[in-house]
Amino acid sequence: MTNETLNIWTHLLPSWYFMWRFMATLCMVDFWNDSYSWPLLVYLSTSFIYPFASSCAHTFSSMSKNARHICYFLDYGAVNLFSLGSAIAYSAYTFPAMLVCTTFHHYFVSLAVLNTILSIGLSCYSRFLEIQKPKLCKILRILAFAYPYAWDTIPIICRLFSSSEGSSGEAANPYHQKHTVIAILACFLYAAHLPERLAPGLFDYVGHSHQLFHVCVILATHLQMEAIFLDMTLRKEWLLATSIPPSLSQTAGAICLCIIFSLINILYFSVALYQTPEPELQKKET
């Protein structure tokens, strides 16, 4: 039992649950012949990859200093991949009526791809500042995760405050509301280090902020998934009549492009690890 034990399990078990949802949907939906369902396939595939990558990072990060950094490089890549998967699903199923087929809608996924690539680079770079500039490291990492989420959330916020949605749109709104509130709570816990900063030592194994952050993120993902399923089903007829069906380039193409650039980013920063002198050694030499 260590401070990482529950960090591992709070993401490992949910990753299998989300994989089960993915496989169950795969058996029920004809993805080969129905382009309308492609964004759902992309979203569901990223939903179980990110908690699995996180659990692996928490499991194997103790192998060595460089292994720790590389594990979290991969973790950050998976988290940002999920952010892009969410953007693709939102673009296809959840956009408010007033924004469908607008310029913002047309470029939403493209800019989400750019956000994802930049976010991975920024979050990986922040790990090089952990010892020398810990405050700047924390700020950059929070910014790297918060900015893509804020971009993804714009159509949801617009929709929740819009009065133009019909009954089909209103059915999923409570799930979107709960998802947004819990996601904000997760960001707060990640940044504030509560409750362990109020009682140092008491929450080392159970109940510290990163465990609560994991639980909130998983709960938010579950609520988001339910909302997307509802939107996809109840708004299908209206969406097919008013918007252009998602293309292969907007779904699989966007994800593949992001994966390629993410791997390049991770490889670059991994190589840089072995070329960067230890901060402690630098201090001793001076």
The predicted pLDDT at position 21 comes to 97
The predicted pLDDT at position 166 comes to 58
Residue 247 has pLDDT above 90, yes or no: no
Mean pLDDT of the chain: 91
Residue 260 has pLDDT above 70, yes or no: yes
In this prediction the pTM is 0.92
Mean pLDDT computed over 112-132 = 93
Q: Are 94 and 172 in contact (CB under 8 A)?
A: yes
The predicted pLDDT at position 286 comes to 43
Position 1 confidence tier, pLDDT thresholds 50, 70, 90: confident
Instruction: Render pLDDT for 186-230 as a digit per residue (tens, 0 to 9).
Output: 999 988 999 999 999 999 999 999 999 999 999 999 999 999 999
Mean pLDDT computed over 124-140 = 91
Q: Is the model more confident about 283 or about 268?
A: 268
The predicted pLDDT at position 157 comes to 93
Binding residues for Zn(2+): 58, 210, 214
C-alpha span between 54 and 41 (Å, rounded): 21
The predicted pLDDT at position 168 comes to 59
Binding residues: 58, 210, 214
Mean pLDDT computed over 76-83 = 96
Question: CA triplet 237, 239, 243: central angle to 5 degrees?
Answer: 135
CATH assignment, 3-28+36-161+169-274? 1.20.1070
